[in-house]
Chain A
C-alpha cells in the first residue's frame, strides 16, 4: 500500500522560473494538504484541497502560488516567478476524510517525504 508520493524530491530553479510540485495521495484518499517548512522552522499550513475544489487556502501567499487537485492525476502546487525566499521543503499530506467534515476529526494525516526546492 503505497504512501503519499511526492516528486521531485529535489528541485532547483533560478529566480524567475516556475516550480511545479506534485503529490499523489494514498489510495482511497481524496483530501490533500500542502505545508511549507522553511529552514530551521516548523511546518506551516498552506492549502487544503478535495478533488477539483479548494477548501481552505488561508495559508497560501496571495501572489505567485496556486494549487490544484484535478479529478484525475496528482495534486499540483505551482509557484510562479520563484524568489530565493521560496527555498523550503514542501510537504503534502492526505486523508480519507476532510478535516472540515467533522468537528471531532478522528483520522491522521499521512505525509509524504517532501520536495526540497532550492532557488538560486
Chain B
C-alpha cells in the first residue's frame, strides 16, 4: 500500500514568517493529495488539496506544490498568524487515503 512520510514532525516559526511542510509518497499511481489541519479538540479539517494534473495551487496564504517525478508535495503557509498553530497532516490516495504522521506547527507571537 501507499507509504506517506511527512517532515518535520514539529515546526516553530515567528509570527509573520513562512512555514513549509514536506511529504513524500510511494505509489506513482496516486493522483490526489489533500492537506488537513487539526486544531486542539477538533477533528482534522481539509484546508487545501491538489490533483496530479497541476503542479501548484494557492488559496490566500496557503499553497501546495506537487512534484510527481520526485513523488513529493509540500504545504506552504505565508505570513503566519497565531491561529495557524495546529497539527497539519498530508495524505495521498491509492484506493483510500494514506496519511502522514503529522506536523505540529507553533506560531510564536
A and B associate in one complex: no
